[in-house]
Amino acid sequence: MSSRRNPQREAERLLSGFTLKKNYLAIVLGIGSPFFLELLQRQQRDHGGHILLVEADPILLEKMDVEVPVITPSENQLDLLLSEIDFRKFQGYRIFTIPSSFKLNPDFYSNAVSHIKKALSAKLSDLFTRMEFEP
């Protein structure tokens, strides 16, 4: 599902200008570019940070043997991932869309992004409330 011409270059282009760092979250919509996920995981090993993969096709996911938290139609590890993030130090997130994956099931990916944004917003709201009322 990745580029037929040069999948490595496509992955590098998608990631250009971004470095995953500690206290940051990279959300990847689709596993259509295994090279992209590999580059991102390398950054995670070097600099820290968190990766969440959203994939509409659980069978494809099984074949890829992915080692990051995932959201699929039948599995949602978002709460697990969010419990690992220290939101007092959270710096932000970036969403990467793998076009070849997204176009196969845009409704699934759009709904997942909406769910993720709401969950992140709730976590940050809870943090701000605690900061306001705790000494």
Q: Measured between alpha carbons, how far is 126 from 115 in angstroms, rounded to an integer?
A: 17
Task: Choose between 30 and 65: higher pLDDT.
Answer: 30
Per the structure, the complete domain to which residue 26 belongs is given by 7-133
Q: Which of 12, 69, 62 is nearest to 35 (CA)?
A: 12
Q: 2 lies in a domain? A: no
Contacts of residue 59, Cβ cutoff 8 Å, sequence gap at least 6: none
Task: Choose between 130 and 16: higher pLDDT.
Answer: 16
Q: Is the pLDDT of residue 47 over 90?
A: yes
Q: Which of 49, 39, 46, 50 is nearest to 17 (CA)?
A: 39
Q: 59 lies in a domain? A: yes
Q: 76 lies in a domain? A: yes
Give 68-110 pLDDT, tens digit per residue. 888 888 888 888 888 888 888 989 999 999 998 999 999 999 9
82: CATH:
3.40.50
Q: 42 lies in a domain? A: yes
Q: How large is the average pLDDT for residues 12-21?
A: 90
Which pTM was predicted?
Answer: 0.86
Task: Choose between 66 and 3: higher pLDDT.
Answer: 66
Number of structural domains in the chain = 1
* pLDDT value for 1: 47
Q: 1 lies in a domain? A: no
